[in-house]
Structure 1
């Protein structure tokens, strides 16, 4: 597109990006301004950076926003961008700007949800052979729509949580029917298991994966990865740091507070681990304005997670689970491996020995002095697609020394898939730790056979003793809200098989 003398229409919103380029903060400013706008509205972006002439049109094409016109007078440029397509202007602005309503529960939903709120109870203990999900549960379509509306500023926080409460009630009812021992809220308020923290931490925001294209070393390869996703990349968001992060409000305590009102069972709450968050959030081109090094970023992440852990334990959470799937990327990926941006592999890595030591120290900094029996670590090999052939593979052997040195009381580990290696290797883990064994594979559409699951449970009991064993799927059922591994009925069937197989063993 060639520059014009002036824009033919006035903008609805305007800002000045100065001399920032797309790889050094301009995209964050664009995202901050365009997300709350309605489709069809116009954003003016003023810039004096020459590279924006080429990068901004490319960004518009990738994100399906329309570049309407641009002007240039000397170094000063002005770009007029329509959110969505210009043909939507007027026709959809009013509808898009209206908040997404919290769905009225249907008769069947109302029957599934508990009718009364339970009073607070003392922290229940974690029993042997406890059956639990890893964390995430498939979200209803209306929950996902509300999530997008909330992130984009079209739905206020109170309405969003009202909608999420309905979704949590359904997830709780399904887990109860399946016979779980330990309850989760299905992570219904989260866009993914990790990136959701950007909506809770200070000086963070979520940006679509498409915004990262100008920031990566090999954009062509990254673009191919985005096209391979089962959902549009614009619907999957990544946390970005634009200042010193802080925890001025809880990250997930509010999730526990509501869940406790629905169940008297022990509750597990999952949090992204400190190494995962550091790897995910440290992108030099985005973070360097706030932090000189990723170690500085890690210090603030540790402080936030440590405060959250203390608050959760004080509130009565039975088990706090830290997710660290990037540990698998460290030891199982290589120069010829497919890039796995879903677990922070886009960011800086200095080799397995350094990274494993860094991860160990970060986890221990969060958990130091906390009651180990209330803390678990979850590790898997990737859970963004049901295609087993593209997930990482390898036994726990290269991770054992790191896992042994972490100050946690339980390890919740992927074990059902052959990609995870032999269960016997886990005997090297600390003898006073609980061993959570994945006994069903959430990537497989059909529930496992009772005899198969019972045999695996029996094998685990033989290796570790019944007092130490915990039972769960290999990973969550919907790690990413827009890209669940299975549907809600399939998730319920998987947990039901675990509970029934355990009864057969008993």
Structure 2
């Protein structure tokens, strides 16, 4: 697309209260059967309309048709038992009851392709679809079959690649892989994490994104952040590897975080999807705050490679807060576009 500083969101938007309980992760559906299918499509339609109305250039589904960014994909795979659950430590931070891998994992049918086709038919703008990354999928399960995180991740990567190619064929312009685990398991990222990610993205013509964040604004994550000190330098571990990888875009959080902005320099040459909206605080950013974050980033990334975005998903927020934050993102981006039009007119001609 030709828009300078195209805006986007990372992942989830809050669901309507008639579809699922607001401000809760893994919230059960309030509808069933055909009514649920219709309700999900209505919610997706609203998410598209709100993004468009509030100036978001690259539109996504807001994860309206899934309960969770990882487990909804896993639910559709063979070899995973959701009745046989085990408690595991997720992201080395909190305990959760998760399904068990009991046999070879396979994808017998597309998971999100019909939803992606519906999204494609709902907007003329470029569309982005998020999938869980292989390492983060492994970290959200109990493995009683492969007994190897690496083997399971590579199996998942092959499955993700099948899904991604069908999403591309359905008209998806950008495919995002969510890998919050990259901020935790540094040895594994180096040993096999990036290789698994590249396998998931292999052969795609659509642009690819890896999103690495510090998590939703839930207590387990905010408590963890409080232990990380005055500078969060976790990205220093994965960025050099990703700079050399085949992934086109790296998505990271910056707004109100302790991530040193100059770490983006490590990624020079890649496109950067920069989190300029905080998802751990309901305070609405002012347009000038957003513009200031983006302005600082331009020291380390060229303007034609910068994609203003949110830090992470906004599912736990009240809907009005999330939508107002989208407006702030686009308003702040417009401030910077106008500045660049004066300073570097060739960029916007």
* TM-score category (smaller protein): 0.7 to 0.9
Deviation at 1:268, TM superposition (A): 0.5
Are the equivalent residues in 2 in contact too, given 1:454–1:504 (CA < 8 A)? yes
Q: Give the aligned partner of residue 429 of structure 1.
A: 267
Q: Give the aligned partner of residue 347 of structure 2.
A: none
* Partners of 1:457 and 1:496 in 2: CA distance: 15
Deviation at 1:384, TM superposition (A): 4.8
Are the equivalent residues in 1 in contact too, given 2:253–2:310 (CA < 8 A)? yes
Could you list the per-position Cα deviations for residues 11-56 of structure 1 after superposition, in whole angstroms to 9, with x for gaps in the alignment? xxxxxxxxxxxxxxxxxxxxxxxxxxxxxxxxxxxxxxxxxxxxxx
Residues 319 and 447 of structure 1: CA distance in aligned 2, closer, same or farther (over 3 Å)? same
State the secondary structure of the residue aligned to 1:202: strand
State the secondary structure of the residue aligned to 1:321: strand
Relative to the length of structure 2, the TM-score reads 0.84
Q: Residues 154-233 of structure 1: matches in 2 within 5 Å?
A: 155-156=32-33, 158-206=34-82, 211-213=85-87
Are the equivalent residues in 1 in contact too, given 2:79–2:102 (CA < 8 A)? yes
Q: Give the aligned partner of residue 138 of structure 2.
A: 278
* Partners of 1:241 and 1:162 in 2: CA distance: 31
State the secondary structure of the residue aligned to 1:193: coil
Q: Residues 232-311 of structure 1: matches in 2 within 5 Å?
A: 238-281=98-141, 283-284=142-143, 287-288=144-145, 291-311=146-166
Is residue 286 of structure 2 the alignment partner of residue 410 of structure 1? no
Are the equivalent residues in 1 in contact too, given 2:254–2:276 (CA < 8 A)? yes
Deviation at 1:141, TM superposition (A): 2.6
Q: Residues 247-396 of structure 1: matches in 2 within 5 Å?
A: 247-281=107-141, 283-284=142-143, 287-288=144-145, 291-330=146-185, 352-371=186-205, 374-385=207-218, 389-392=222-225, 393=228, 394-395=232-233, 396=235
Are the equivalent residues in 1 in contact too, given 2:117–2:171 (CA < 8 A)? no
Deviation at 1:305, TM superposition (A): 0.5
State the secondary structure of the residue aligned to 1:269: strand
Deviation at 1:136, TM superposition (A): 0.4
Structure 1: runs of 5+ lacking an equivalent: 1-124, 227-232, 331-351, 479-483
Are the equivalent residues in 2 in contact too, given 1:440–1:453 (CA < 8 A)? yes
Are the equivalent residues in 2 in contact too, given 1:207–1:238 (CA < 8 A)? no
Is residue 335 of structure 2 the alignment partner of residue 504 of structure 1? yes
Are the equivalent residues in 2 in contact too, given 1:363–1:407 (CA < 8 A)? no
> Which residue among 19, 22, 26 is the counterpart of 1:143?
19
RCO (CA 8 Å, sep 6+): is it higher in 1 or 2? 2
Are the equivalent residues in 1 in contact too, given 2:86–2:99 (CA < 8 A)? no
Q: Give the aligned partner of residue 99 of structure 1.
A: none
Residues 147 and 438 of structure 1: CA distance in aligned 2, closer, same or farther (over 3 Å)? closer
Q: Give the aligned partner of residue 342 of structure 2.
A: none
* Partners of 1:470 and 1:320 in 2: CA distance: 14
* Partners of 1:454 and 1:430 in 2: CA distance: 21
Residues 497 and 189 of structure 1: CA distance in aligned 2, closer, same or farther (over 3 Å)? same
Residues 244 and 257 of structure 1: CA distance in aligned 2, closer, same or farther (over 3 Å)? same
Could you list the per-position Cα deviations for residues 95-138 of structure 1 after superposition, in whole angstroms to 9, with x for gaps in the alignment? xxxxxxxxxxxxxxxxxxxxxxxxxxxxxx37431111111010
Could you list the per-position Cα deviations for residues 437-463 of structure 1 after superposition, in whole angstroms to 9, with x for gaps in the alignment? 111102111111222211122222343
* Partners of 2:257 and 2:310 in 1: CA distance: 14
* Partners of 2:211 and 2:302 in 1: CA distance: 20
State the secondary structure of the residue aligned to 2:19: helix
Could you list the per-position Cα deviations for residues 177-196 of structure 1 after superposition, in whole angstroms to 9, with x for gaps in the alignment? 21100111110111111111
Residues 127 and 311 of structure 1: CA distance in aligned 2, closer, same or farther (over 3 Å)? farther
Residues 274 and 467 of structure 1: CA distance in aligned 2, closer, same or farther (over 3 Å)? same
Could you list the per-position Cα deviations for residues 311-370 of structure 1 after superposition, in whole angstroms to 9, with x for gaps in the alignment? 11222211100000011122xxxxxxxxxxxxxxxxxxxxx3244321111011222333
Is residue 336 of structure 2 the alignment partner of residue 460 of structure 1? no
- What is the number of equivalent residue pairs in this alignment? 325
Residues 465 and 292 of structure 1: CA distance in aligned 2, closer, same or farther (over 3 Å)? closer
State the secondary structure of the residue aligned to 1:424: helix
Are the equivalent residues in 2 in contact too, given 1:409–1:434 (CA < 8 A)? yes
Deviation at 1:175, TM superposition (A): 1.3
* Partners of 1:446 and 1:409 in 2: CA distance: 32
